[in-house]
A and B are shown apart, each in its own frame.
Chain A
């Protein structure tokens, strides 16, 4: 830690020397400049009249949205069932695809660390970085609107997440158990089934439930791009400015998310 002397000759302790201080301030200045520039761009693209008017509009919408139209609930049971199915079947399908990818990506089980592992890792990153809404948009364009497109969107989106967590679990297993199974003269598949699978099974179950919970959230909005479920009702209510229905749908979505989270927390508590 540098020490400098002031005008009177007394020693002053400093945390950093001059160059470090200057470079730090320069970094702060650059960060602030970038932020201000970004903010200016947003400001230019904004119609400020609407923003100043926002409290009035918010109050207006709030007034229209209350009370929720409870009778609309009759029409929501079907879409709610579809939403649940998209989340559940989508998660199952994703797991079926994620398990092989995870085994190919894990350093200790991949057949080839040089060629196959990077491909598996790319699949993981690519599916993870594309949002489920974009997957839904793509699949609606390809296979047409409906629950099936939403289900596939959820499945594709979840592969990366599940495979990533699973391959990390596989890499963390206890190698001694694998060695013990190998020592009995077991084949590659037997080692897999008796040495590795039992060790990653709790992680696998935890990941599935965790992803299912996330997928419940995500499947509620897929209807916005035409992929079925309760989002479809939300979209049509928004288009017709039927705010009391929007309120009810938002309450139902909130309820579904909370129940999903509760179930997932319970199940994970029981497994781990």
Chain B
């Protein structure tokens, strides 16, 4: 028996089918991407001597991670972290409280059209504006301090939570709401017993997730003067105190990990 390979039987060698079947589009995209990359890379001017000079500093930072300094600026770090936590808690609570009515208004199946459009507008505005930019404007208006940070994150929470809450309400099971309606309930009772139980687990999960995001964001608000650990971190980098900076970053990473773990536990419990 002679051995015949698959390729010989087919006549042509087998090749993997391409991802984009149309050859013109495929090559067009590839060449376009290449031209873009060449243009983009050539327009970035890198001062290599400065980079080489910075490498030792970069290495100092990496080693600082194994030898973080929690002590010499311990007071500042503690105050900053506490302020970040305070901003996180208050802004999450207030943000959730405001986003529930807005989320109800932004769900097409329970809100009349004018209310729906207004609420969707608020959601779109809140999502389009970057937190840092909002923080800059609010610091200019309300002055330096955690109040501006609190307002910024509350505003950002509204866009995030209302949108997801509204989508969840739009996907809910109508029958349960109708059953409550059929008992002659008022609008509030309908929301409380027909809608709320269906979206509650998701709302709790999303709120925990948002708490996590708000903490991460609260760490940078200080860079623009809106309170929190960011200001301490900024000072540490400006003075090249990498050991203090490493300590702060480690605290942030550990806190985020703990929050992520906690939110996982809570979400598993409610769902």
Nearest CB of chain B from residue A213's CB, rounded to whole Å:
12
Q: Which of A81, A85, A142 contacts B57 (CB 8 A)?
A: A142
Chain B contacts of A47 at CB under 8 A?
143, 145
Whether, in the assembled complex, B179 has its beta carbon less than 8 Å from a beta carbon of chain A, the answer is: no
Chain A contacts of B219 at CB under 8 A?
131, 134
Chain B contacts of A148 at CB under 8 A?
44, 46-47, 51
Number of A-B contacts (CB under 8 A): 145
Chain B contacts of A94 at CB under 8 A?
none
| Docked-complex contact B143 and A133, CB < 8 angstroms | no
| Docked-complex contact A42 and B57, CB < 8 angstroms | no
The answer for the CA separation of A78 and B82 in the assembled complex, in Å, is: 40
| Docked-complex contact A257 and B128, CB < 8 angstroms | yes
| Docked-complex contact A38 and B128, CB < 8 angstroms | no
Surface stretch bound by B, among A11-19, A54-62, A98-106: A54-62
Chain B contacts of A225 at CB under 8 A?
223
Question: C-beta contact mask, B222-238 vs A, less than 8 Å → 1, else 0?
Answer: 01100100100110011
| Docked-complex contact A42 and B86, CB < 8 angstroms | yes
Chain A contacts of B217 at CB under 8 A?
131
Chain A contacts of B136 at CB under 8 A?
224, 234, 238
Question: C-beta contact mask, B131-146 vs A, less than 8 Å → 1, else 0?
Answer: 0110010001111011
| Docked-complex contact A217 and B130, CB < 8 angstroms | yes
- Number of contact residues on A: which range applies? 35 or more
| Docked-complex contact B216 and A131, CB < 8 angstroms | yes
* Interface of chain A, main secondary structure: helix
* CB-based nearest A residue for B41: A89
* CB-based nearest B residue for A137: B237
Whether, in the assembled complex, A41 has its beta carbon less than 8 Å from a beta carbon of chain B, the answer is: yes
Chain B contacts of A46 at CB under 8 A?
142-143, 145-147
The answer for the CA separation of A38 and B19 in the assembled complex, in Å, is: 54
| Docked-complex contact B133 and A42, CB < 8 angstroms | no
Chain B contacts of A89 at CB under 8 A?
37, 40-41, 44
Whether, in the assembled complex, A195 has its beta carbon less than 8 Å from a beta carbon of chain B, the answer is: no
| Docked-complex contact B256 and A134, CB < 8 angstroms | no
Q: Which of A51, A88, A143 contacts B40 (CB 8 A)?
A: A88
Chain A contacts of B243 at CB under 8 A?
none
Whether, in the assembled complex, B61 has its beta carbon less than 8 Å from a beta carbon of chain A, the answer is: yes
Question: C-beta contact mask, B145-167 vs A, less than 8 Å → 1, else 0?
Answer: 11100100000000000000000
6 CB-based A-B contacts, threshold 8 Å: A131-B217, A146-B45, A146-B46, A201-B19, A234-B136, A250-B133
